[in-house]
């Protein structure tokens, strides 16, 4: 690291939050110390922005945040900064492809979580993480012109990894297909990835990318690792994700973001 970090962007689930999706006191305190030291801090998540605002408030974040993997950039009060919805042709192609496989499919549009089955696996997990309930629909077609994200979910992690590899070439330059968790495959606009989100937020804050840090644990965090001045992986991340980072902190269950802030961002002799 040749220049001091001036802006840090963190993933939420699996990174900033503990496994129960809660913010821990040590993490809140570390983020507040970091911001008091003059380093801007923000959030990038596959979550919709409305499911990030309370955490942003608790952390005292003043910078814009990135929801839907960068598909929506909003100010901490929820006002829209930039939006990159999924192209309707890509949305239809993804839904058609996923319908051929044994996965549950969700669509996020109109600030709603749309689903066809409340009994599907991971609905309770998502409800707890988002802080709001889904809306039951019989057809996703009426929403195809304004989709922010499509999610395929299953407990067959190997199937989801295979679907990611098969779906991305079909979407070509229209959309991204990337796992945000072993059991979630997210499809978002080609303009919605965390690397582009970090680049746009850094530009908005007038911070060069060489003075940014990215913290994450999942496959979809590797895009921001590729452009950040310092990439920090969580201790429980897969070998592939850890290999893509510059340094590895402890797990999110051990408040790895707090450890990384103290060790790599606030310490004068960190690296």
Among candidate residues 113, 117, 161, 166, the one with its CA nearest the CA of residue 138 = 117
> Once rounded to an integer, what is the mean pLDDT over residues 212-237?
97
pLDDT at 172: 84
* pLDDT tens-digit readout, 21-30: 999 999 999 9
Q: Please count the CA atoms within 13 angstroms of the CA of 207 that sit on its side-chain side.
A: 26
> Once rounded to an integer, what is the mean pLDDT over residues 206-223?
96
* pLDDT tens-digit readout, 120-133: 889 999 999 899 99
Reduce the secondary structure of 100-146 to three states and give it as a string.
CCCCEEEEEECCEEEECCCCCCCHHHHHHHHCCCCEECCCCHHHHHH
* pLDDT tens-digit readout, 232-270: 999 999 999 999 999 999 999 999 999 999 999 998 555
- Tell me which of 3.30.1240.10, 3.30.70.1450, 3.40.50.620, 1.10.730.10 is the CATH number of domain 88-189: 3.30.1240.10
CB crowding 179-215: b at 16 or more within 10 Å, else e:
bbbbbbbbbbbbbbbbbbbbbbbbeeeebebebbbbb
pLDDT at 80: 96
pLDDT band (50, 70, 90) for residue 180:
confident
CB 12 within 8 A of CB 197: no
To which residue do tokens 């960190």 refer? 270
For the domain made up of 7-83+192-265, the CATH class stated in words is alpha beta
pLDDT at 38: 97
pLDDT at 268: 56
> Once rounded to an integer, what is the mean pLDDT over residues 99-128?
94
The pTM assigned to this predicted structure is 0.89
pLDDT at 1: 46
Judged against a pLDDT cut of 70, whether residue 148 lies above it is answered with yes
Domain residue spans in the chain? 7-83+192-265, 88-189
7-83+192-265 and 88-189 in the same fold: no
Q: What is the mean pLDDT of the chain?
A: 95
């Amino acid at each position: 690291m040749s220049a001091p970090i001036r802006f840090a962007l963190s993933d939420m689930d699996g990174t900033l939050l503990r496994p129960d999706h809660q913010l821990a006191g040590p993490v809140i305190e570390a983020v507040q110390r970091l911001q008091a030291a003059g380093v801007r801090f923000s959030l990038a998540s596959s979550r919709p922005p409305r499911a990030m605002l309370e955490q942003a408030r608790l952390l005292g974040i003043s910078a814009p945040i990135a929801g839907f993997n960068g598909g929506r950039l909003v100010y901490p009060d929820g006002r829209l900064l930039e939006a990159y919805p999924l192209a309707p042709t890509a949305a239809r192609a993804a839904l058609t492809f996923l319908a051929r496989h044994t996965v549950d499919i969700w669509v996020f549009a109109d600030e709603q979580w749309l689903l066809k089955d409340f009994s599907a696996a991971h609905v309770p997990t998502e409800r707890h993480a988002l802080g709001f309930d889904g809306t039951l629909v019989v057809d996703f077609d009426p929403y195809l012109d304004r989709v922010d994200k499509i999610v395929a979910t299953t407990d067959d992690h190997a199937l989801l990894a295979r679907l990611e590899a098969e779906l991305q070439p079909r979407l070509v330059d229209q959309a991204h297909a990337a796992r945000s968790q072993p059991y979630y495959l997210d499809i978002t606009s080609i303009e919605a990835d965390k690397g582009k989100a970090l680049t746009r937020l850094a530009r908005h804050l007038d911070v060069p990318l060489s003075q940014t840090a990215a913290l994450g644990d999942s496959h979809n965090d590797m895009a921001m690792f590729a452009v950040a001045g310092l990439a920090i992986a969580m201790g429980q991340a897969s070998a592939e994700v850890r290999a893509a980072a510059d340094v590895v902190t402890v797990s999110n269950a051990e408040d790895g973001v707090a450890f990384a802030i103290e060790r790599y961002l606030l310490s004068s002799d960190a690296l």
